[in-house]
Homo-oligomer: A and B are copies of this chain.
Amino acid sequence: MSAGRDARPLVVAAAQMGPIALSETRAQCVARLLEMLREAAAAGCRLVVFPELCLTTFFPRWWIEDEAELDAFFETEMPGKETRVLFEEAARLGVGFYLGYAELAVEDGEKRRYNTSILVDPTGRIVGRYRKVHLPGHADHRPARAFQHLEKKYFRPGNLGFPVWRSMDANLGMCICNDRRWPETYRVMALRSVEMVLLGYNTPNDHTGHAEIDDLSNFHNQLAMQAGAYQNATWVVGTAKCGTEEGSHLIGQSMIVAPSGEVAAMATTLEDEVVRARCDLDLARIYRETYFNFAAHREPGQYGPITAQKGAVGPTGQG
- Do B313 and A192 have beta carbons less than 8 Å apart? yes
A104 in the interface, Cβ–Cβ < 8 Å? no
Supposing A231-B182, A297-B134 touch, asked if A312 and B223 sit within 8 A by C-beta, the answer is: no
- Contact mask A193-214 → B, CB, 8 Å, 1/0? 1100000000000001010110
A315 touches B165 (CB 8 A): yes
Within 8 A of B (CB), among A212-230: 212-213, 216, 219-220, 223-224, 226-227, 230
Contacts of A59 in B (CB 8 A): none
Complex contact A310–B316 (CB within 8 A) = no
Is A157 interfacial (CB 8 A cutoff)?
Answer: yes
Q: Which residues of chain B are near A295, meaning CB under 8 Å? A: 310-312
* Interface bracket on A: 35 or more
The verdict on A4 contacting chain B, using a C-beta distance below 8 Å, is no
Q: Tell me which of A19-27, A245-253, A285-293 binds B.
A: A285-293
Binds B, one of A68-76, A106-114, A270-278, A301-309: A301-309
Question: For the complex, is A64 an interface residue (Cβ under 8 Å from B)?
Answer: no
Indicate which residue in B162, B166, B309 contacts A300 across the interface (CB closer than 8 Å).
B309
Most interface-central of A298, A303, A309 (chain B CB within 10 A): A303
| A192 partner, pick from B261, B305, B310, beta carbons under 8 A | B305
Query: Assuming A136-B291, A307-B300, is B313 touching A210 (CB within 8 A)?
Result: no
A134-B299, A193-B314, A193-B315 known; 6 new pairs, CB 8 Å cut-off, are A128-B317, A165-B317, A178-B291, A178-B297, A191-B305, A306-B307
Can you spell out 20 A-B residue pairs with CB atoms less than 8 angstroms apart?
A1-B210, A127-B317, A128-B319, A136-B297, A163-B316, A166-B314, A181-B291, A183-B183, A183-B187, A184-B302, A187-B305, A187-B306, A188-B305, A191-B311, A192-B315, A216-B260, A223-B226, A227-B227, A227-B231, A300-B310
Chain A residues in contact with chain B, CB under 8 A? Answer: 1, 125, 127-128, 133-136, 157-158, 161-167, 171, 178, 181-184, 187-188, 190-194, 208, 210, 212-213, 216, 219-220, 223-224, 226-227, 230-231, 260-262, 286-288, 290-292, 294-295, 297-300, 302-319
